[in-house]
Amino acid sequence: MKVLEKFFNKYEHLFLEGGKYEKYRPAYMAMYTFMFTPDETTKKGAHIRDAVDLKRVMFTVVLALIPATIFGMWNVGYQYFTHAGLDFTNMEAFMYGFWKVLPMIIVSYVVGLGIEFYFAVLRGHEVNEGYLVSGLLIPLIMPVTIPLWILAVSVAFAVIIGKEVFGGTGMNIVNPALTARAFAFFAYPTFMSGNEVWIPKPENADAYSGETILGALGQGHHIAYTWKDMFIGTIPGSIGETSVIMILIGALLLLATKVASWRIMVSGFLGAAVMAFIFNLWGANTLMQLPWWQHLLVGGLAFGVVFMATDPVTAAQTRKGKWIYGFLIGMFAILIRVFNPAYPEGVMLAILLLNVVAPTIDYYIVQANIKKRMKRFEKQTA
Amino acid sequence: MHKQVKISKGLDINLKGKAAHKLAEAPRSKMYVVKPTEFYGINPRLSVKIGDHVNAGDPLFYHKYLDRIKFTSPVSGTIEDIVRGERRKILKILISPDATDTFKTFKVDKPEHLNKEQILDLLLESGLFATIKQRPYDLIAHPDDQPKAIFISTYDTAPMGVDYTFALKNKMKAFETGIKAITKLTDGKVYLIVNGNSVSDFDKLKDVEIVKAFGPHPVGNVSISIEKFEPISKGDRVWTINPADVALIGEFFETGQYNPVRNVALSGSKVKEPMYYTIKAGADLSEFLKDKLKDDDVRIISGNVLTGSNISKDKFLNFYDNQISVIPLGKRPRFMGWMPFLGENRKSFYNFGPTKKQLDLDASLYGEERAFVMNEEFEAVMPLDIYPVHLLKAALLGDVEKMEQLGILEVAPEDFALIDYINSSKIEAQDLIRKGLDIMQVEIG
């Protein structure tokens, strides 16, 4: 550690005021503070501070994503080999997926962090840690066959339009990762939906059905998967979204560390369950007939509710607001899923919609607090 | 049946080094100070010059805009120096004490025999009026205001907080006298907040509304009880006094002398033997602390670790404080200090809730300031009916109307101390609220 500290100290003068690379100080500080938490002590306010900082918060989310990521890699291989009709070991399946997914993660981080650093230097502010999470989320909600250049363009769009134009982490209205997905979905639909994008195409197969469960149900097809497949995640889909059990392991970590709001998670699943149950009673098409609890297992719902809806910046800010926000995300996700089979991924649109509505929800809740206070003020002066 | 106040939002921070129930006398210091900067919102006008001799209780300066509010010398001695800062702002008045104190004698009587005006005049003359603060704005009160109630909290829930049942044990009679004087200052009630989980001498006091408080910090803060029993509206004034100051007021009415001697809790993990000492306000602590600390790599705080002031360099006991906290400084870079679950900073109390184990925390900031991100954590430690994120953002923007609507008149910076502590964006919440209150005071008054 001493060697590393010396290394940083040796070059620090270049980045100080008057130094040769003064402009690039935010980039230097981002590197330094990643390796070392600085020796700053409290200057005003409370003299003691919790050891939690934004880096730790963001890294905890990354940790929570690891089970879903590893399973997703394995599932890419598993889907490929089974659809190709080949024999394989679990290790082979994982390694196959690993080499497919790793380049996506690298592209996402390099492009995203590159832009973040650029803006930090441009504006002379610190590099915010938000992209540590977005950088992993984006590949996990994409189909594995997406060309890397589309991924790169989507990331650039999400970081610049979704975040930096609003002022960076903490100021953005919509979730950057979902912005990336929505961009890719509408700009390059052929790479983002259909039957063939979810599984790398086997060379020896002319026709294979790699459609997702929601895709199949939307076409009125019957599905060959059991609820266990859906829960464990051995089904086609975006890389990280298929395994409900792995997502729940991540959710447990997020809840134990209080990094994500349990209110949003609970109300999100509740809203989806209620909506799906209502559709069960209606039962007009195959999607409506899917048992309500299976609706919670398929598609991106679990992943969206656990990792995207709970993004503290774009969610509702008040506790009461979080209940409403989460519940509506669940409801709209199922509603869009059932009524518009062209967009079986209702959860993405539902979260983006509620991201936009969240400030309004908060407004009314805060307004109620203000009204109560103003009433008391009036009583006093009357 | 006593009144009760109960909260669940908040956090008890269990620190190593709480002062033991032992009391000793600290030796007389070689220097005493009065710092006008401590009296927030006061513009000092000097009544003395360097070389003057003063008795304990003689005025040193007064408030430029209200000359009845006087600030007096804690000891008898010679004015050693008057230290000024930028634009000749008076920072410190240093007094070199006589071997023993001679006191200015005030013509006092039993508070029962005095009326409100007489009591106020005596408090103003002796300098003790400075111990009375007002809400809103958390400033020294205005003597012409009619407070609708007065709040005194004997339940210090801050980390290693002062146990007033012990600190005032030998001053209970004076405390009662003080209460008698204070009840004359308001037509409303005087509320006395006590620890709901134990029984003490405070419970037996007459002429006051006893409020039994239950729950984590900040339940001992007066704001919590004010909100419940006497919510502040525009134009209202509520006064607050620290219980140790009530005892000083009582002693003053018993003796006719201004002698601000406090039983101070010397606490913190860097103190060899944390216990109580009798120390006079304004005392130079450098000699006193010399053999009492484990080493020099420390942060010395007059007050508690959440709201106190850093006196590591200039070691004088502040006017208002009944506690000295000494914690490790912790000034060193930490290799990947942000890593959760691993390494020396793995603990995060916010993440895992309050702990039974006593913690040894230092004064490191553990990160850098960032934009508001984790907004739910703010609400977790805000028991008042207030949306802290919205209020802080309004304060950041200096939006007077918004701040008022969101309830800034009902809070003091100390209510936001836990937000300073837990928030991952390292936002200085107390500082923002103080600035917000200052803007409000200028705009609304």
Q: Which three-class secondary structure state does DSSP give residue B219?
A: coil
Residue that is written with structure tokens 């023993």 in the block? B100
Residue that is written with structure tokens 């005025």 in the block? B59
Smallest CA–CA distance from B422 into chain A, residue: A50
Q: Do B350 and A258 touch (CB under 8 A)?
A: yes
CATH architecture label of B32-97: Beta Barrel (2.40)
- The minimal CB distance from B424 to the residues A53, A369, A372 is found for A53
Find the mean pLDDT for residues A193-214. 73
CB B274 within 8 A of CB B15: no
pLDDT tens by residue, B51-106: 999 999 999 999 999 999 999 999 999 999 999 999 999 999 999 999 999 999 99
Query: In chain B, positions 399-418, which contact chain A (CB-CB < 8 Å)?
Result: 405-407, 417-418
Domain spans of chain B?
3-14+111-255, 32-97, 365-443
Question: Domain B3-14+111-255 belongs to what topology?
Answer: Rossmann fold (3.40.50)
Instruction: Tell me whether residue A376 is in a domain.
Output: no
State how many domains chain A has.
1
B90 touches chain A (CB under 8 A): no
- The minimal CB distance from B371 to the residues A171, A317, A373 is found for A171
CB B263 within 8 A of CB B23: yes
pLDDT tens by residue, B5-39: 999 999 998 899 999 999 999 999 999 999 999 99
Q: Do A46 and B305 touch (CB under 8 A)?
A: yes
Other CB atoms within a 10 A radius of the CB of residue B8 amount to 9
| pLDDT band for position A205 (cuts 50, 70, 90) | low
Other CB atoms within a 10 A radius of the CB of residue B16 amount to 18
For residue B210, what are the β-bridge partners?
Answer: B192
Q: Do A59 and B340 touch (CB under 8 A)?
A: yes
CB B444 within 8 A of CB B236: no
- DSSP category for residue A174: S
Of residues A70, A336, A37, the one with CA closest to residue B426:
A37
To the nearest whole percent, how much of chain B has pLDDT over 90?
Answer: 83
Lowest mean pLDDT among A199-208, B128-137, B206-215: A199-208
Element (H, E) at A255: helix A244-256
A312 touches chain B (CB under 8 A): yes
- Chain B residues near residue A312 by CB distance under 8 angstroms: 373-376
Instruction: Tell me whether residue A33 is in a domain.
Output: no
Peptide bond into B136 cis (omega under 30): yes
Q: Do B333 and A59 touch (CB under 8 A)?
A: no
pLDDT for B221 beyond 70: yes
Q: What angle do CA B43, B118, B135 make, to 5 degrees?
A: 45
Q: Mean pLDDT of all residues in chain B? A: 93
B339 touches chain A (CB under 8 A): yes
pLDDT for B352 beyond 60: no
pLDDT for A211 beyond 80: no
How would you classify the pairing of strands B66-72 and B77-84?
Answer: unpaired
| Structural domain range at position A280 | 54-203+214-368
Instruction: Tell me whether residue A362 is in a domain.
Output: yes
- Can you give the pTM of this predicted structure? 0.92
**Interface mutation target, options A28, A29, A53, A313, chain B, most CBs of B under 10 Å:** A53
A2 touches chain B (CB under 8 A): no
Instruction: Tell me whether residue A23 is in a domain.
Output: no
Instruction: List the structure tokens of A44.
Output: 């005003």
The Cα of B338 is separated from the nearest Cα of chain A by a number of Å equal to 5
A18 touches chain B (CB under 8 A): no
Find the mean pLDDT for residues B402-417. 95
Instruction: Tell me whether residue A17 is in a domain.
Output: no
Instruction: Write the DSSP assignment of A264-296 as a string of letters.
Output: HHHHHHHHHHHHHHHHHHH--SHHHHS-HHHHT
Higher-confidence position of A12 and A263: A263
A61 touches chain B (CB under 8 A): no
ipTM of this complex: 0.93
pLDDT at B354: 60
Q: A165: domain CATH number?
A: 1.10.3430
- DSSP category for residue A133: H
Query: B97 — phi, psi (to 5°)?
Result: -80, 150
pLDDT at A317: 92
Determine the straight-line distance between the first and last CA of chain B, rounded to whole angstroms.
38
pLDDT tens by residue, A151-190: 999 999 999 998 888 888 788 899 999 999 999 998 998 8
| pLDDT band for position B202 (cuts 50, 70, 90) | very high
Instruction: Tell me whether residue A239 is in a domain.
Output: yes
Find the mean pLDDT for residues B308-321. 95
Smallest CA–CA distance from A35 into chain B, residue: B336
Find the mean pLDDT for residues A87-110. 95
